[in-house]
Chains A and B, each alone.
Chain A
Amino acid sequence: MLGVLRAAFGQVIARPRLVVAVYVVNVLLAIPLVVAMESVLADSIGDGIYQESVRATLDGAWYSEHTGRYDTGLGSTFTPSSVLGPGAMLDNLDAWLEGKLVAVDPSVFGMVLLWAFAWLGLQGAVLERFVHGGAAGPSSFAAAALRHLGRMLQAAAIGLLAYGMLWSLVGDWVKGIDNASIDVTSEVTMLWRLAPAFVLLVLGFHLVRLVIDYTKVAAVRERSGFVLPALVRALSMIARRPLLAVLGYLVPGLLIAAWMGVWLLVAPGGASSSWVSLILTVALTQLFIIGRLVLRLFQLATAVQVYGVAADG
């Protein structure tokens, strides 16, 4: 296993331009929204002394007016938790857990959709490089992204179907638990009753993702037009080498979790009252984002290595 991890890590380290490409796309797609948000905030802050108080801190007086002014639309997505400390990560994780990512505000939905397509393409191109190597130029990268987009879309569709079923199943189960707990008077008891649902959700999510990751690898390796045969081969591989398959997914996954845990502790929580402090804060945030991207690429690289070991002996 160590050899697999070392090789996967080497693949990522040896191809820093992959990380840059993925990160640049992430930033580029965020920029239009950030520009729009800057405009919203400039209007909300106005040309008076809020410019100073909001600079020094997230002024509660201003924020209470902002929420009144922007209770829907892009402005409503600006919340204290979206900009302070690790709140952005927690907000998104919470939306993930509650199944509310699909209910993301319409003002950002379009860019999220664009990112979804871009990310699928990027994964195809990244896997192509990990699996087949080859030319490293931007044009070949883009060509690979386009070439595998159909496969990635199919894999994602299968995954989304499974996730939808999982969230629906857990949601119904939670409702059932709630209805059956109508006389529970202790929060601890309620938590214990809900714990299996939380566990099922997390395990189920990662199980689906594990299968889909290996499916993508299989699809890229074999360049099959349809993904279903790749899915069958991935399942077959997992069945043959379950420990290797799980560890290959789990170790990078735990690293991602640890990275997020570190962010929970160190994310800057105050205002940025000067350009220096702002640049530092933004730089730290970007470091966190880049770290997550690197670790996710490491997870994909590990999947490639694991699949290779299992398939090629």
Chain B
Amino acid sequence: MLTWRNIQSTSTAELSFHLYWNAWRNDQSTWLREDWMRGRGHWTGKKVPDDAWAWQQVDSFRVGGDELPWRYIAPDDGNEDDRTVFHVDLPRAVSPGEEIEVEIDFRSKVPRTFARVGFRGDYVFAAHWFPKLGVFTDDGWVTPQFHSATEFFSDYGRYDVALTVPAGWTVGATGRLVAIEEQGETATHRFEQNDVHGFAWTASPDFISIERRFERPGLPEVDVRLLVQPDHLAQADRLFDASFAALESYGTWYGPYPYDYMTVVDPAYGSRTGGMEYPTFYTCGTRLSNPLGSGSPEGVTIHEAGHQFWYGVVGSNEFDHAWIDEGFNTFSTSRTEWVHYGPVYYSKRYFDPPGKSFGGFWRRLFPGLEWHAPTALRRRGRLSRSDSLTSDALAVPTWKHLPHEVGNLSYSKTALWLTTLERWLGWEKLQRGMSIAYRRGAYRAPTPEELFAALEEGAERDLDAFFDHVYYRSALFDYAVEKAGSRSVVPKGFIEQDDGELGLSKPDDDAEPMYRTDVVVRRHGDGVFPVDILLVYTDGNEERVAWDGEDRWHWIVREGPAKLERVVIDPDRVLLLDLDWRNNSRLMKGDRFAARAWAARWAGWVQDLFLTVGGFL
């Protein structure tokens, strides 16, 4: 039963629904066609088991007791085989403010996991499992087809759901569990929640349910329920800590978590349902071996808990603007990780058998490489080794992005430009802007322009040029030192002598040496950003030169008693979108020690490789 109220200012005589699970009905769906292009290839290289496919079928659609016909549509690509959207013509228009009641009989076949939804053994994770109403706007219905690289968009509402499962099973879902009724071999679990834009649930006989209360001064209390796999019971504290870290940081920075309940799910092994957010309900995911400091499971747990703010409270049209919730949240995840846990270290998983990758059963930490979480440095690497930045501008609707670049653009690029803003404007101003965005965007999906306005309000300055570069265009940033050096100011060659005649210059041995320093810097990319240029001299003196970064090159000339020792563009590493920091600086007297040292260390790997290969001979 669905009650829909028209909250727009125009009438509509139609309704539009998603049937997300039909994306996995067969391989002709738009989702699976795009998934191939994305290179992810669900079930690639494997025979798809018959029970892996899924479907959703509407058996009856009634309004006021009258059966209404419905039809599939494919508004995005016209794929006649896609069955992820259906459309119903109503007998009469629904006016602004008016409500309509709809009765829908439907059946859904649960898939083996596609897109973090499905079953494995007796573990079930179900999201978007019912005909999901699209979003009616003043421009009409927004009900895109289900795309492989993008997620969802729906209105806020109230959910009252009863789930009947085998008795003894544990059920988790969006909202608060209000009742369990046993009926012999089955039990019905009833959940309720207001002001959410979806309802997901999970069930398993294996879950261990643990409840704790989040309590921090100045923030509302939240009852947090963890459904943890028996294998991972020893990590329950870490999962709670990470969830609480997100509630505390996001709540303090942006605004409190408004719901009083939250459920954290540690998904079943191999289910591929981890790391996904749903309203008041999310999956984290861990493994038996996950040493502290590796960033797992803390990172994913904070990220998904953080989505309760950027996705849950502040909604977004993830079809068009996936970068809003993913980017804002990725930035905030890194910051929260840093504040609560400090650096994240490089780690690697080992111990996989031949024939199949299980992701390595043993994780080894390498504290010799610190990732400096708040700068999201790993994401710079990902961006620089992909073509993302020359791919689509963020302003292009996400579902139209080259599918395999969506992650880099939505997560990495947005997180990096937000970190750039933080370093440029200062955290206080960015935090103020993001909290304004959070407050104004609550329980709806703000547009990018509204978010930019909030950030500008927090920054107390015009940021149009910045957003033009990072959002409306695919601007590339790359500042570089072209030439740098110092030489004596005493001229060489002919100069005018005291008697007015030309003569060869002679060094004045008694005079204090003076040097002319020349530094030429360049802007290789089309992106423009103001940068500082740090000049350090051999006598220890330093000078910062501010450059607006607009011209294609800039020449700095200085005179002084010391030679230039180094020049560094953007010494504080403000511009994280600068793709090549290697060319940002120049040492006048460099050496190859670092290269030699690490090459010598790497020799151990080669020699060990020889011995390991030798083991077969």
Contact in complex: A71, B385 (CB < 8 Å): yes
A55 and B377 contact, CB distance less than 8 A: no
Q: Do B616 and A163 have beta carbons less than 8 Å apart?
A: yes
Interface stretch among B316-324, B359-367, B498-506? B359-367
A101: CB under 8 A from chain B? yes
- Pair A101/B613 contact, Cβ less than 8 Å: yes
With the chains together, A269 CA to B560 CA distance in Å? 43
Determine whether A215 belongs to the interface, using a CB cutoff of 8 Å to chain B. Answer: no
A61 and B377 contact, CB distance less than 8 A = yes
Residues of B close to A68: CB separation below 8 A: 380-385
Q: A55-B597, A68-B385 are in contact. Are A49 and B231 (CB under 8 A)?
A: no
Q: Given that A185-B121, A186-B229 are contacting pairs, would A93 and B610 also be in contact in the complex, using a CB cutoff of 8 Å?
A: no
CB pair A186 B206 closer than 8 Å = yes
CB distance from A215 to the nearest CB of B (A): 12
CA A170 to CA B355, docked complex, whole Å: 7
B606 touching A33 by the CB < 8 A rule? yes
* B352 interface residue (CB < 8 Å to A): yes
Any A CB within 8 A of the CB of B37 = no
CB distance from A175 to the nearest CB of B (A): 5
B354 and A99 form a contact (CB under 8 A): yes
Contact bitstring A277-313, B, C-beta under 8 A = 1, else 0: 0100110011011001100100000000000000000
Compute how far the CA of A72 lies from the CA of B358 in the bound complex, rounded to whole angstroms: 24
Interface residues of A in 65-98 (CB under 8 A from B): 65, 67-69, 71, 77-78, 80-85, 87-98
Q: Mark A142-167, 1 if CB is under 8 A from B, else 0.
A: 00000000001000100110010001
Give chain B residues whose Cβ lies under 8 Å from the Cβ of A178. Answer: 355-356, 358
A29 to B145, CA, bound (A): 58
Contacts of B583 in A (CB 8 A): 46, 48
CB <8 Å contact, A45 and B594: yes
Which 5 residue pairs of A and B lie closest in terms of their CB atoms, listed nearest first? A171-B355, A64-B381, A48-B585, A68-B384, A183-B121
Q: Mark B590-604, 1 if CB is under 8 A from A, else 0.
A: 111111111111111
State A170–B606 Cα separation when bound (angstroms). 27
Partner-B contacts on A (CB < 8 A) = 26-27, 29-31, 33-35, 37-39, 41-42, 44-52, 54-55, 57-58, 60-65, 67-69, 71, 77-78, 80-85, 87-99, 101, 104, 108, 111-112, 115-116, 119-120, 123, 152, 156, 159-160, 163, 167, 170-175, 178, 181-191, 194, 197-198, 201, 209, 269-272, 275, 278, 281-282, 285-286, 288-289, 292-293, 296
Residues of B within 8 Å of A172, CB to CB, are: 355
A189: B residues at CB distance < 8 A: 269
B419 within 8 A of A: no
Q: From A47, A80, A112, A209, give the contact of B369 (CB < 8 A).
A: A80
Q: Mark B105-143, 1 if CB is under 8 A from A, else 0.
A: 000000010000000111100000000000000000000
Contacts of B599 in A (CB 8 A): 34-35, 37-38, 41
A172 to B353, CA, bound (A): 11
Contact B269–A174 (Cβ < 8 Å)? no
User: Which of A51, A60, A108, A198 is B606 in contact with, Cβ under 8 Å?
Assistant: A108
Residues of B166-190 contacting chain A, CB below 8 A:
none
A60–B370 contact, CB under 8 A? yes
Question: In this complex, what residue of A is CB-closest to B346?
Answer: A80
- Chain A nearest CB, measured from B529 CB (Å): 18
What are 21 A-B residue pairs whose CB atoms fall within 8 Å in the complex? A29-B610, A47-B587, A48-B582, A58-B346, A61-B372, A62-B581, A65-B581, A68-B380, A68-B382, A88-B605, A88-B609, A99-B354, A101-B612, A160-B616, A173-B355, A181-B270, A188-B288, A282-B600, A289-B604, A289-B607, A289-B611
Interface string of B82-122 (1 = CB under 8 A from A): 00000000000000000000000000000010000000111
Complex: how many Å from CA A274 to CA B212? 50
- Take A38-B595, A41-B599 as given contacts and tell me if A88 and B604 are in contact as well, using a CB distance cutoff of 8 Å: yes
Bound CA span A65–B380, Å: 7
Please pick, from A30, A80, A292, the residue contacting B603 in the complex, using a CB distance under 8 A.
A30
Q: In this assembly, does B507 line the interface, its C-beta being within 8 Å of a C-beta of chain A? A: no
The residue from B268, B378, B385 contacting A185, defined by CB atoms under 8 A apart: B268
Asked if B381 and A201 make an inter-chain contact with CB atoms under 8 angstroms apart, the answer reads no
Main secondary structure of the interface of B (DSSP, over half): mixed
What B residues does A41 contact at CB under 8 A?
A: 594-595, 598-599
CB distance from B11 to the nearest CB of A (A): 49
The reply to whether A51 and B587 form a contact with Cβ atoms under 8 Å apart is yes
Measured CA separation A178–B594 after assembly (Å):
44
Is the C-beta of B65 less than 8 angstroms from some C-beta in chain A? no
Contact between B606 and A174, CB atoms less than 8 A apart? no
The smallest C-beta distance from B488 to any residue of chain A, in angstroms, reads 23
Distance in angstroms from A253 CB to nearest chain B CB is 10
Contact of B608 (CB < 8 Å), options: A92, A167, A187, A272:
A92
Cα(A189)–Cα(B230), bound, Å: 11
- Are B606 and A30 in contact (CB-based, < 8 A)? yes
In the complex the two chains form, is B582's CB within 8 Å of A83's CB?
Answer: no
Which B residues lie within 8 Å of A77 (CB)?
A: 602, 605
Q: Is B351 engaged at the interface, CB distance under 8 Å to the other chain?
A: yes
B264 close to A (CB within 8 Å)? no
**A57 x B368 contact (CB < 8 A):** yes
Interface check B493, CB cutoff 8 A? no
Taking a contact as CB atoms under 8 Å apart, the answer to whether A64 and B378 are in contact is yes
- Additional A-B contact list (10), CB under 8 Å, known A184-B120, A185-B270, A271-B368: A30-B610, A48-B582, A64-B381, A77-B602, A83-B601, A83-B602, A97-B352, A104-B613, A156-B616, A174-B356
Q: In the complex, which residue of chain A has the Cβ closest to the Cβ of B573?
A: A61
Q: Are A88 and B355 in contact (CB under 8 A)?
A: no
CB of B583, distance to nearest CB on chain A (Å): 7
Contact A50 B348, beta carbon cutoff 8 Å? no
**Given A81-B348, A190-B269, CB of A201 within 8 Å of CB of B353:** yes
Determine the chain B residues whose CB is within 8 A of the CB of A42 once the complex forms: 592, 595
A92 to B573, CA, bound (A): 36
CA distance A215 to B492 in the complex (A): 78
Nearest to A166 among chain B residues (CB) is: B354
Rounded to whole angstroms, the CA-CA distance of A63 and B592 in the bound complex is 17
A85 to B121, CA, bound (A): 40
Contact status A191-B361, CB under 8 Å: yes
Given contacts A34-B603, A171-B354, contact A44 B582 (CB under 8 A): yes
In angstroms, Cα B596 to Cα A98, docked, is 31
Please give, as numbers and ranges, the residues of chain B lying within 8 Å of A90 by CB-CB distance: 348, 350, 364
